[in-house]
Amino acid sequence: MAASTVNSTESYDRSRDVKQFEDTKTGVKGLVDSGITTIPRFFIHPPDKLSDLSPNSTTRPGSDVIPTIDLSGVNDSDLRSTIVEKVTCASRELGFFQITNHGIEDELLESVIGAIKGFHEQPADIKKRVYSRDDMKRSVSFFSNFDLFHSKAANWGDTLQIKLGPTLPELDEIPEIYRKQVMVWNEKVRKLGELLMEVLCEGLGIDKGKLKELQCTEGRTMVGNYYPYCPQPHLTTGIVSHTDAGVLTILLQDQTGGLQVKYHDEWVDVKPVPGALVINIGDLLQACFFSFAGCAFVLVLAYGLVVCVWSFVVFTFAALFAFLV
């Protein structure tokens, strides 16, 4: 019944409903807490956009097409060349892979997931203090759907965004519930980003410090997405199909599943691997060094995944200028 609403010709004031939702400053979690049993119309996506996303499809490739690369020997001269080859191949052919033994402890991974989940599950009045769409002025912001007022259909998820580079925010700007985890995570991700860029440079046959020299690790943004229970998950998505701009994304997902990547025009589940991180080669890095490969399209279903932490390593303006010239 809800799906037929999308095709109805009756008058519908989307802007009114969107504004009412935005004015609550409680996001999708606020809708769930209110006890809704059907999702608001502006969250409903056209059926043709959702038809090929079923997690039970028997025709799509298996999740094993997405390689998992063990980095445990990356500092061993005898093993490094094999790892470099695997990372370069995965970056070129898919732009998407998982890594294990990456140097970030399992305890920290679990702590980060728990801290982000804890923020989103706080009372609404506490979260409202950092609710904002003006990310040019704020280092820390909470919102639902960055393109809420412009998209054809909204996604079922809330976002916590923290700008971590090139300049760290003041400590008191970061809510205490996840402050410690964010600071440790930022340092670990910076080091891991530098290592991955060294490996990529070696695979491309250029000086291993070239990307770091271009300040490609300086711009960092941490995004903690939260996907609460959805009463009608077959009508919407957690995140719509998209590619990631910048250099690369280091992604931490919880163990429930729901993340997908496009492979040869088919959506493939990115099966959670305990202790693993997902790496997505960003659009600019693809364009500069893997120009014959397609950019990696990613989406999140509206059922399964609860917390997903995206750490974006993006170009600073200085780095982008250096690349273009």
Assess if residue 5 is contained within a domain: no
**209 is a domain residue:** yes
Domain membership of residue 140 (yes or no) is yes
Whether residue 93 lies inside any domain: the answer is: yes
Per-residue pLDDT tens over the stretch 241-273: 888 877 889 999 998 888 999 888 888 889 999
State the CATH number of the domain containing residue 177. 2.60.120.330
**Do the bridges between strand 68-70 and strand 96-100 make them parallel or antiparallel, or are there none, so unpaired?**
parallel
Structural domains counted in the chain = 1
Q: What is the pLDDT of residues 78-93, one digit of tens each?
A: 899 999 999 999 998 8
The rounded distance, in Å, linking the Cα atoms of 178 and 142 is: 13
Q: Is the dihedral of CA 29, 30, 33, 34 positive or negative?
A: negative
Six-digit token pair at 185? 């995570």
Give the amino acid at 276: A
Domain region containing 285: 17-54+65-323
pLDDT mean across residues, the chain:
86
- The answer, as to whether pTM is greater than 0.85, is yes
For residue 75, the Cα-to-chain-centroid distance in whole angstroms is: 28
pLDDT at 66: 92
The answer to the question of residue 135 being in a domain is: yes
pLDDT digits over 106-124, tens only? 999 999 999 999 999 999 9
Please give the Cα distance from 28 to 156 (Å, whole number): 6
Helix, strand or coil, per DSSP, at residue 256: coil
Q: Specify if 11 maps to a domain.
A: no
